[in-house]
Amino acid sequence: MSFEVIDVKDLQANPWKMIGDEWMLITAEKAGKVNTMTASWGGVGIMWGKTVATVYIRPQRYTKEFVDAGSSFTLSFFGGREKKAMGHLGSVSGRDESDKIVNAGLHITEVDGQPSFEEAELVLVCRKLYAQEMKPDCFFGSEEIEKWYPDKDFHTMYIAEIVKAYQKN
């Protein structure tokens, strides 16, 4: 199977289900090597007149180095399939397991010159526009800090333009 370019504004998908329930892979390349991580936090919308995706990556995640190194990354969605593989990719670091993608049973492919996966149903190619580390003094209460950041490892928020969307045909 191959991918076809679609207009991201034509998607009829539910982002709460796609991201929060089914998860996504954030994938980037650095110095010829690909790394990915599973994410269940993020969003899509309009910012600065552009279609954008927002993702959040903790500082200790190896994939952050890859996202920071380049100007683009991909978001891959599997329609609820590949949860076992995504569970593996979210719990094992590429620092410790060099073949974690192979070990998860997924196959890397290129979409618009960016790494993604043959098994994906939808791929969003994203160009970074903005990044900022979340700061404790910007929270309006302490509940989220206490629950989600006991180690003070605040996410970096990335806003990225969705430059192309590809759907499995």
DSSP 4-62: EEE-GGG----HIIIIIIS-EEEEEEETTEEEEEEE--EEEEEETTEEEEEEEE-TT-H
In one letter, which amino acid is 105? G
Superfamily covering domain 3-168: Electron Transport, Fmn-binding Protein; Chain A (2.30.110.10)
pLDDT for position 1: 53
Domain map of the chain by residue range?
A: 3-168
98 has a pLDDT exceeding 80: yes
Distance CA 137, CA 119 (A): 41
Segment 123-144 mean pLDDT: 96
pLDDT digits (tens, 9 = 90+) for 28-54: 999 999 999 999 999 999 999 999 999
Segment 116-137 mean pLDDT: 97
pLDDT for position 49: 98
115-116-119 Cα angle (round to 5): 155
pLDDT for position 158: 98
Cα dihedral 139, 141, 142, 143 sign: negative
Tell me the pTM.
0.96
137 has a pLDDT exceeding 70: yes
